[in-house]
Structure 1
Amino acid sequence: MKIKKNRLETLRMIISSRELGSQEELLAALQEEGFKLTQATLSRDLKQLKVAKAASMSGNYVYVLPNVTMYKRVSTPNKIKEMMQVPGFKSITFSGNMGVIKTRPGYASSIAYNIDNSDIPQIIGTIAGDDTIFIVLQENAHPQDVTNALSEVVPNLK
């Protein structure tokens, strides 16, 4: 069972860090990591992980992982500060009562989840994609106030 758990974790890491569009490419990547398996086993693993195919920025269809927060309840969510210590956060920009946070691919959902569950009164809520978070600010919130609030928990926020 430990081998399967390691294989599934390796598969998650491969899918989240590379743009692969075929099972043959996934099998080759897994073999590079020391896992030799059949196409049938890979297919079952993909189904178990709820992996789907989606269009990438280049227009090719590639394997993607589901937003984990949609499938798993978190009883004690991490604080934004803990999440931002991982180099997933890239930048934040504001326009009116909206903000956009750019992240590394795969980080937006978990960061948005933690923002939604934090005590930042200037933020009404978020919508997350793969590498972008849309933030809705309170009507009279100033971007600098939001930046100041986030800077207390987000290292290196400018």
Structure 2
Amino acid sequence: MKISRHAKIIEIIQAKEVETQEQLAEELKNNGFDITQATVSRDINELKLIKVVNAYGTYRYVTSSQGDSFLSNKLANIFSQTVLYVDHVDKFIVLKTISGAGAAAAEALDSLKFNGIVGTVAGDNTVFILVRKEEDTKEIIQKVKKMISEYEK
């Protein structure tokens, strides 16, 4: 019963924008599950559901993997809006950002998980990137420049 209920919860939150536990409980009841609020709360915890802001500014439940994707998209958007230019020396890439955006740009870059990046260090308006192999540097710079140029369109 629990497995089928969990499957139905995932199906419901993918099909509808469920904002509250009460809404989720009602949807489950409409689908033939006789459950309590406490059960819904436990299911949410067990399924590791999270709430994210939707396009209308309200919250909705999503699976944590959907939340990660949502967060990555938001961070990529922040990255493209805050990085001003990119330069490099050997295996070091330097990003200049608008003031105060270095940490956000580094977090976004880390979340994108580009191959070849060993790590990032962020300052107020600068991000240093250490690349594993010098030949990876140009590919990463191209990706960064593409992200920046897509925002400018």
TM-score range, shorter chain: 0.3 to 0.5
TM-score (norm 1): 0.45
- Bigger Rg, which one: 2
TM-score (norm 2): 0.46
